[in-house]
Structure 1
Amino acid sequence: MGYRVVVVGATGNVGREMLNILAERQFPVDELAVLASRRSLGTEVSFGDTTLTTKDLDTFDFTGWDMALFAVGSEATKVYAPKAAKAGCVVIDNSSLYRYDPDIPLIVPECNPQAIHDYKNKNIIANPNCSTAQMVVALKPLHDRARIKRVVVSTYQSVSGAGKEGMDELWDQTKAIYNPTTDVPPNKFQKQIAFNVIPQIDVFMEDGSTKEEWKMVVETKKIVDPSIKVTATCVRVPVFVGHSEAVNIEFEEFLDEDEARDILREAPGIMVIDKREDGGYVSPIECAGDFATFISRIRQDSTIENGLNLWCVSDNLRKGAALNAVQIAELLGREVLKKG
Structure 2
Amino acid sequence: MKPSNPRVIASKILCRVIYKGESLSQLLVKIEEANDPLVRDLCFGSLRWHERLSAILKELLVKPLKNKDKDVECLLRLGFYQIIYQKTPDHAAVNETVAAVKGLKKPWAKKFVNGVLREFLRRKNILLEQIDQHDGARYAFPDWLLGKIKKSWPDDWRQVLEASNQRAPMVLRVNVLQQNRDAYYQKLGDAGFKASLSEVCDTAIILDSPVNVHELPDFATGAVSVQDTAAQLAAGLLDLKSGMKVLDACAAPGGKTGHILESCKNLDVIAVDNSATRLVQVKENLERLSLQATLLAEDAGDVDNWAKEILFDRILLDAPCSATGVIRRHPDIKCLRRPDDIA
Provide the TM-score with structure 2 as the length reference.
0.33
More strand by share: 1
- The one of the two structures with greater contact order (alpha-carbon pairs below 8 A, sep at least 6) is 1
Q: Normalising by the residue count of structure 1, what TM-score does the alignment of the two structures yield?
A: 0.33
Give the structure with the higher percent helix.
2
> Which has the higher Rg, Structure 1 or Structure 2?
2
